[in-house]
Amino acid sequence: MVKYIVKRILVLIPILLAVSFVVFAILSFIPSDAARIMLGANAPQEAVDALRESLGLNDPFLVRYGNYMLNAFQGDFGNSYRSGQPVFDEILVRFPVTLKLAVFSILTVTIVGILLGVISAVKQRTVIDAIVTVLSMLAAAVPGFWLALMMMLLFASYMGFLPTYGIESWKSYIMPVIALSMPGIAELTRMTRSAMLETIGQDYVRTARSKGLREGLVMFRHALKNALMPIITVIGSNFGSLLGGSVVIETVFSLPGLGNLIVTSIRSKDDPMVMAGTLFVALIFCLILLAVDVAYALIDPRLRTRYVHQRKPRWRSKEVAAR
Amino acid sequence: MTDEKNIAAKPAEWELEQDCIEEERFAFFRRLCENKTAVLGLILLTIIVGMALTASLWIPQEAVTTQDISVRFVAPCREFLFGTDGFGRDIFARVVYGARVSLFIAVSTIAISCLAGLVLGVGCGYLGGKFDAIVMRIVDVFMCLPPLLFSLSIVAALGNGMWKLILAVSITMTPYFTRVIRATVMSLTSMDYIEAARANGATHMHIILRHIIPNCLGPIIVEATINLSYMIMLAASLSFIGMGVVSPTPEWGAMLSEGREVMLDAPWVVLAPGLAIVITALSVNLLGDGIRDALDPRMKR
Amino acid sequence: MKKALAAILTLAMLFSLAACSSGNGSADEGEGATEPRNDLTVILSSEFTTLDPQKLSANASINFCSNIFDGLVALDEENNVVPMLATDWEISPDGLDYTFHLREGVKFHNGNDLTAEDVKLSVERFRDNEWMAFASFAVDSCDIVDDYTVTIHLKFPYGNFLSMLWYCYIIDSDHYNSLSEEDFARNPVGTGAYQFVEWAPAQYVTLKANPDYWNGAPHIENLRFNFVSDSNTAMMALNTGEADLSFGVTPLNYKQAVEGGKLATDSTTGNNFYYINFNCDRISKEVRQAISYAIDRETFNVVINEDTGYLSDIALTEGQEGYTTDLTTYPYDPDKAMELLEQAGATDLSLTFYYDESSANTKMAQTLQSQLGAVGIELILEPVESGTWWSTFGNGDYDLSRSGYPMEAANTDSCYYDMFHSTGSFNVSRINNPELDALLDEARRELDSEKRNEIYIQVNQIMAEEAYYIPLYFSASLLVYNPDLQGVHALTSQNYQYKDMHW
């Protein structure tokens, strides 16, 4: 197992290097004047030129990339053009917000999604099943940022019991978490439902039932346990898309998270910040994929060898549902 | 697309198999029509697309951008069905014309990335070897970034605008389609009839065009419809954070972005475009699910 | 069993991640029924990048810092120069040397005494940091005379020097020398009425009263500044009492607050002047004039400012050097615009409009597009990120753009030179007019205010005749606050002094 994990982590290194190259290339595509941004409108042109030279902005692309990576390997990801502070300081301040948002959302997705899925599978072809199905259909069609706007309109202004900004109380996370987890809930509910329906028909579930075990116990001990694989896939894939989705949601709720930081930095052309932020997200994203695969391998040792060679796309989990 | 279908429909050396496909196709439509939710989705989508396509016949194009500050922030009424925005523009006209923009973006990104994915996926799956290895490593790299973030940085590099947005989202989605199609192709190449065709001396081109691509169409159609609503939302999200289509082009996400500032005063400005996205995405999802189930009858409802 | 284990492991991992990252508790906003409050929560619409007082990039942070730092002098509300850390000063007859006598017994927040050493360091940093060049361009050097006397030497006699000197906040030299530049930027120590407590990036900054402030201790003990970029959110926070004061709400929200009647409001003319600028390298005088007639500024003011802005033909307000009404104006007249365009042979024009993306700019762009469309000019909108805008401006690759400039209350020179001189760093209209340059150069070195006034009137007349830019309006300075808060009213400069506020 350890060997497997180590191997997977080693595979990550070249991938992340390539990601850094892609992002660096994209960023150098954008026309802008970093030195001018750093010094402001009023700085004399000579000072701007001098700074540009000293930052190495006049060097060819590959030289700049090489220098960047050399420094990065020594733990120096550069200083923000805007604040002059080391970028990683800021990222480490911002990341917990995004992480909390993502973790709370994934927990909400997991709990609500599995619960609704199981209920609707157990109550198959009843009104409850129909309601859950319709709701999950709707939830999948609502863009998170619009839901966020609607909630703000409703809760924050008309009722005033949820804080409107800031992150100091857990209440501040309620609206963003709902907005962020809605598509995941929809997906997991449907996934759980169909996975459960498949296992409910299996022999051992019938056996368990005929042994006179309580219905709830049968469902959770036997049926759900065997439906776990696709469910974990959906959860893992959602964790990744939550990281991406938080970019928009954080902007809507003015949350000081990583996504918000990346958007502001793209706007103000703060390259070192965008670069480090994006790399950081990519790293976390890959680690989550890894964690999901490890969970897989723990569940089913046969998969271990297979998944080393051929990894399924997981950030768009609809593929799973389509299988 | 239709050309390829015709090629597939021509009776060739494997007539028996082609007959099966014909029958399968018929069964597909029968199953699709039996599925009430899918039919509902189809009807809704037909209405939306119909409205979008015929918009210029019943709403003058100028209504989309005509500004009139004497009618700013008018609540929905008989004259302005969905109200007006801060420039005094008719939101109803903008939402209807917005369907053109949003659907065009979604459909063209799907078309571009499917086509690119088809070329790469068939190449990878059929050729295998070094080509496959290299392309798949690149795909791995591109998939290391959440799609929204990836398209965001591409839009930032290219600049705002509808075509640039389409390009950015297409680039983001291509790796995904490449993977799906590659997997399908790989499972096909080991099929008996492909082996047989090869043994009969068919050329690679012939096998790919006659056998591989026609049989990939099913999964591609499923993926395309299922991802269509995701495209609509991705494009809207990008425009919403100001990195995509720019007002006055009536894109739904851009309209929401503009309306957000005034939503406490004039909630209708954010209601109409948002509902438009929800209804469109819903109908596409319903139809997509129906198509998927109809293509794969083993999948339980 | 293993499957259950895996599920538990996954969940446990997620939980522990969340646990590691969870920050700690919050401060309650205790609101006694009888006790007057001693705290104040202010909303700031944008975050600072630094609190190094000599590297401040935006007026908002310069104003914020005036509560932590003092300058040698300050401007009062009538824009007169008044003593602060300098009690008095002498100016040499040639106008080159300014000798300041420092207030004795003033202490920094860390307990250090204010001495000439600190002033010298501050003035030198003020001179050397590019961000401050707009205010410090005339400074040559600073000499210590004795512990409480310094002399600042200028490069040339500059009549407006004192009115720009308030931008030079005095820092503690010992504190500065003990920290790296990065740490210094995050730990401001000044002599001001409030001392710095904490800065949580992207969330808030807290300050507490300096009880030993030389100019009298402030009334309110604790200040908290929350960064809220969204105006709706800010309004909700004001409505629910989560925040007490905001001067960054949008005009629409301001109007809501006025109509709602629950919150106190105040407004006055702001100091930000907005205009549409041509790229004069590309667009001829005739076309510029024609376009000027096609612009209905009233509409701009309604769409962007909900009619709160102050329309102006000139980048000055009454009473400033150079203010005049005797100049060419371009009243809204689309027919005349079309006629002039035809005369200039410029039909079927297609122009690009570059702007950095923001809500107000997007509105401006669309209004402009619509108005120019009405006279047959196609306007292509090119919104860019603010970072990109600078390079576009630098290489001159645009036809039209928009600008906002924070005007100085008591100094026409620094703004005009910056905006209209061919070498000015904010010459976004790309003006290159030798006559104008000569006048601006002359005014810069003119010590007599009356004479400067006459020169600037000439400058304004040339500017208007040549139609180098389309003046739009001064935005309003809007203030929404808790009605219980006393000692507060809207300021043109938005340089709010929390020291004077009380409950």
User: Which residues in chain B touch residue C357, judged by CB atoms under 8 angstroms apart?
Assistant: 160, 242
Residue B83 DSSP SS3: coil
Per-residue pLDDT, B189 = 79
Per-residue pLDDT, A112 = 92
Report the share of chain C in percent with pLDDT over 70.
93
CA distance A20 to chain B (A): 9
Per-residue pLDDT, C425 = 80
| ipTM for the whole complex | 0.84
Average pLDDT taken over every residue of chain A: 79
Q: Could you give phi then psi for residue C256, rounded to 5 degrees?
A: -55, -45
**Sign of the alpha-carbon dihedral angle for B170, B172, B175, B177:** negative
Q: Determine, for residues C133 and A90 on separate chains, whether the beta-carbon distance falls below 8 Å.
A: no
- Segment C274-300 mean pLDDT: 90
- Segment A70-89 mean pLDDT: 85
> Does the N-terminal peptide bond of residue B248 adopt cis geometry, omega within 30 degrees of 0?
yes
Question: What type of residue sits at position B204?
Answer: H
Structure tokens at C260: 């709602």
Instruction: Band the pLDDT of C17: cuts 50, 70, 90.
Output: very low
Residue A32 pLDDT > 90, yes or no? no
Q: Cβ of B63 under 8 Å from any chain C Cβ?
A: no
Q: Which residue has the higher pLDDT, C13 or C135?
A: C135
- Segment A34-39 mean pLDDT: 74
Q: Cβ of A16 under 8 Å from any chain B Cβ?
A: yes
Average pLDDT taken over every residue of chain C: 85
Residue B111 DSSP SS3: helix
Instruction: Band the pLDDT of B1: cuts 50, 70, 90.
Output: very low
Residue A156 DSSP one-character state: I
Residue C293 pLDDT > 80, yes or no? yes
Report the share of chain B in percent with pLDDT over 70.
90
Instruction: Band the pLDDT of B38: cuts 50, 70, 90.
Output: confident
Instruction: Band the pLDDT of A317: cuts 50, 70, 90.
Output: very low
Beta strand C310-311 with C378-384 is: unpaired
- The 10 Å CB-count burial string (b at 16+, else e) for C195-223 is bbeebbbbbbbbbbbbeebbeeebbbebb
3-state percent breakdown (helix, strand, coil) of chain C, nearest 5: 35, 25, 40
Beta strand C194-200 with C310-311 is: unpaired
Residue-wise pLDDT for A201-236, tens only, equals 777 777 777 777 677 777 776 777 777 777 787 787
Per-residue pLDDT, C27 = 38
CB-neighbour burial class of residue C310 (10 A; exposed 0-12, middle 13-18, buried 19+): middle
Report the share of chain B in percent with pLDDT over 90.
27
Structure tokens at C162: 């004192």
**CA distance linking residue C45 with residue C64, whole number of Å:** 12
Per-residue pLDDT, A125 = 81
Those residues with Cβ within 8 angstroms of residue A211's Cβ, 6 or more apart along the chain or in another chain:
none
Residue A255 DSSP SS3: coil
Residue B43 pLDDT > 90, yes or no? yes
Q: Neighbours of A (≥3 Cβ pairs closer than 8 A)?
A: B, C
User: Which residues in chain B touch residue C250, judged by CB atoms under 8 angstroms apart?
Assistant: 261
Per-residue pLDDT, B24 = 67
Residue B6 pLDDT > 80, yes or no? no
Residue-wise pLDDT for C128-180, tens only, equals 888 888 888 889 989 999 989 999 999 988 888 888 888 999 999 999 999 88
Residue C4 pLDDT > 70, yes or no? no
Structure tokens at C55: 């590297």
Candidate from C235, C252, C366 with C-beta closest to B248: C366
- Segment B149-153 mean pLDDT: 88
Residue A153 DSSP one-character state: I
Candidate from B175, B222, B260 with C-beta closest to A149: B260
**CA distance linking residue B236 with residue C266, whole number of Å:** 38
Q: Are C220 and C35 in contact (CB under 8 A)?
A: no
Q: Are C480 and C49 in contact (CB under 8 A)?
A: no
**CA distance linking residue A281 with residue C8, whole number of Å:** 25
What is each CA distance from A295 to A194, A323, C78, C138, C168, in whole angstroms?
A: 21, 20, 70, 67, 60
Those residues with Cβ within 8 angstroms of residue B231's Cβ, 6 or more apart along the chain or in another chain:
B105, B106, B109, B110, B169, B173
- Segment C439-466 mean pLDDT: 89
Residue A123 DSSP SS3: coil
Q: Are B214 and B8 in contact (CB under 8 A)?
A: yes
Candidate from A40, A43, A96 with C-beta closest to C21: A96
Residue B154 DSSP SS3: helix
Question: Vertex C298, ends C292 and C302: CA angle to 5°?
Answer: 135
Residue-wise pLDDT for B16-37, tens only, equals 555 556 666 677 778 778 788 8
Instruction: Band the pLDDT of A108: cuts 50, 70, 90.
Output: very high
| pTM (two decimals) | 0.85
Per-residue pLDDT, B99 = 92
- Segment C39-56 mean pLDDT: 88
Q: Mutating which of C16, C20, C26, C426 best tests the A interface, going by the most A Cβ atoms within 10 A?
A: C26
Instruction: Band the pLDDT of B50: cuts 50, 70, 90.
Output: very high
Those residues with Cβ within 8 angstroms of residue C163's Cβ, 6 or more apart along the chain or in another chain:
C75, C79, C81, C408, C409, C410, C411
Among A209-223, A230-244, A264-278, C418-432, the minimum mean pLDDT is found in A209-223
Candidate from A104, A165, A269 with C-beta closest to C388: A269
User: Which residues in chain B touch residue C367, judged by CB atoms under 8 angstroms apart?
Assistant: 67, 87
Q: Mutating which of A135, A248, A254, A317 best tests the B interface, going by the most B Cβ atoms within 10 A?
A: A248
Residue C460 pLDDT > 70, yes or no? yes
Among A155-159, C113-117, C328-332, the minimum mean pLDDT is found in A155-159
Per-residue pLDDT, A302 = 59
Among A124-128, A294-298, B253-257, the minimum mean pLDDT is found in A294-298
CA distance B180 to chain A (A): 8
Residue-wise pLDDT for B210-252, tens only, equals 888 888 888 888 888 888 888 999 999 999 988 888 878 899 9
What is each CA distance from C455 to C440, C447, C448, in whole angstroms?
A: 8, 12, 11
**Angle between helix B15-34 and helix B36-58 axes, rounded to 10 deg:** 80
Residue-wise pLDDT for C183-208, tens only, equals 888 899 999 999 999 998 888 999 99
Residue C1 pLDDT > 70, yes or no? no
Per-residue pLDDT, A230 = 75
Residue C28 pLDDT > 50, yes or no? no
Question: What type of residue sits at position A225?
Answer: K
- Segment C384-396 mean pLDDT: 75
Candidate from C236, C303, C357 with C-beta closest to B86: C303
Residue B4 pLDDT > 70, yes or no? no
Instruction: Band the pLDDT of A310: cuts 50, 70, 90.
Output: very low
Q: Mutating which of A4, A28, A80, A83 best tests the C interface, going by the most C Cβ atoms within 10 A?
A: A83
Structure tokens at B246: 């720019």
Question: For A161-164, which contacts have Cβ atoms below 8 Å and span 24 or more sequence positions?
Answer: A163/C242, A164/C233, A164/C236, A164/C237, A164/C240, A164/C242
Q: Determine, for residues C6 and A168 on separate chains, whether the beta-carbon distance falls below 8 Å.
A: no
Q: Cβ of A154 under 8 Å from any chain C Cβ?
A: no
Give the CA radius of gyration of chain A: 24
Q: Mutating which of C303, C332, C352, C378 best tests the B interface, going by the most B Cβ atoms within 10 A?
A: C303
Residue-wise pLDDT for C170-184, tens only, equals 999 999 999 888 888
Residue B1 DSSP SS3: coil
- Segment A87-103 mean pLDDT: 88
Q: Cβ of A167 under 8 Å from any chain B Cβ?
A: no
What is each CA distance from A31 to A268, B158, B159, B259, C396, in whole angstroms?
A: 12, 9, 10, 30, 13
User: Which residues in chain A touch residue B299, judged by CB atoms under 8 angstroms apart?
Assistant: 194
Residue B161 pLDDT > 50, yes or no? yes
| Of C468, C416, C410, C466, nearest in space to C440 by CA | C416
**CA distance linking residue A163 with residue C234, whole number of Å:** 11
- Segment B124-140 mean pLDDT: 87
Structure tokens at C160: 């407006």
User: Which residues in chain B touch residue A316, judged by CB atoms under 8 angstroms apart?
Assistant: 147, 176, 227, 230
CA distance C9 to chain A (A): 8
Those residues with Cβ within 8 angstroms of residue A103's Cβ, 6 or more apart along the chain or in another chain:
C14, C15, C17, C18
User: Which residues in chain A touch residue B142, judged by CB atoms under 8 angstroms apart?
Assistant: 22
3-state percent breakdown (helix, strand, coil) of chain A, nearest 5: 80, 0, 20
| Of C158, C132, C157, C127, nearest in space to C142 by CA | C127
Q: Cβ of A124 under 8 Å from any chain C Cβ?
A: no
Residue A309 pLDDT > 60, yes or no? no
Helices of type H across C306-433: 334-343, 359-374, 386-395, 412-420
Among B112-121, C20-29, C75-84, C393-402, the minimum mean pLDDT is found in C20-29
Instruction: Band the pLDDT of C32: cuts 50, 70, 90.
Output: very low
Q: Neighbours of B (≥3 Cβ pairs closer than 8 A)?
A: A, C
